[in-house]
């Protein structure tokens, strides 16, 4: 068991202490990932396909995670519903477009906050509860 601690410590030392996942990062990831979702990735973009797939995974993951967390908090803590998605939810492409539209409409200095907070704001603006 001791032999595992040295490689694990070495690996941990290589990892960044904090990653800045703000609106600027989310905007760049969702813009790259959208090329895959909407089929606009050109053949000359193929060398960047892996980067775009990673970006798409980040974008979709954080959007879905924010939606799931919001719904969980509403159920667990009986908080008021702030986001009212259509029956059956929204398609992934639609979610990305909603978030991108919100991010692109904000001045750059407003994108320096946490990406989940911005996604939450985008969803509240697009799908408010009546």
pLDDT in tens, 50-88: 788 899 999 999 999 999 999 999 999 988 889 999 999
**37 and 92 in contact (C-beta within 8 Å)?**
yes
Average pLDDT over residues 109-130: 95
Helix (H, G, I), strand (E, B) or coil at 77: helix
- Is residue 51 domain-resident? yes
CATH number at residue 103: 1.10.890
- Is residue 53 domain-resident? yes
- Is residue 95 domain-resident? yes
- Is residue 8 domain-resident? no
CA 95 from centre of chain: 10
The structural domain count of the chain equals 1
Domain that holds residue 96: 20-126
- Is residue 99 domain-resident? yes
- Is residue 14 domain-resident? no
The model carries a pTM of 0.80
pLDDT score of 16:
44
User: Within 13 Å and on the Cβ side, how many CA atoms surround 71?
Assistant: 9
pLDDT in tens, 1-57: 444 444 433 434 444 444 568 999 999 999 999 988 888 877 776 677 778 889 999
- Rounded Cα gap, residues 84 and 123, in angstroms: 8
- Rounded Cα gap, residues 74 and 123, in angstroms: 15
- Is residue 13 domain-resident? no
């Amino acid at each position: 068991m001791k032999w595992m601690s040295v490689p694990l410590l070495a690996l941990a030392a290589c990892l960044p202490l904090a990653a800045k996942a703000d609106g600027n990062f989310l905007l760049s990831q969702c813009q790259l990932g959208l090329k895959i979702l909407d089929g606009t990735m050109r053949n000359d973009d193929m060398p960047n396909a892996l980067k775009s797939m990673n970006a798409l995974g980040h974008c979709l993951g954080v959007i879905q995670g924010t939606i799931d967390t919001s719904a969980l908090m509403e159920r667990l803590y009986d908080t008021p519903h702030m986001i009212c998605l259509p029956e059956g939810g929204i398609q992934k492409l639609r979610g990305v477009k909603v978030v991108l539209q919100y991010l692109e409409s904000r001045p750059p200095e407003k994108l320096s906050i946490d990406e989940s907070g911005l996604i939450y704001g985008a969803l509240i603006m697009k799908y408010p509860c009546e």
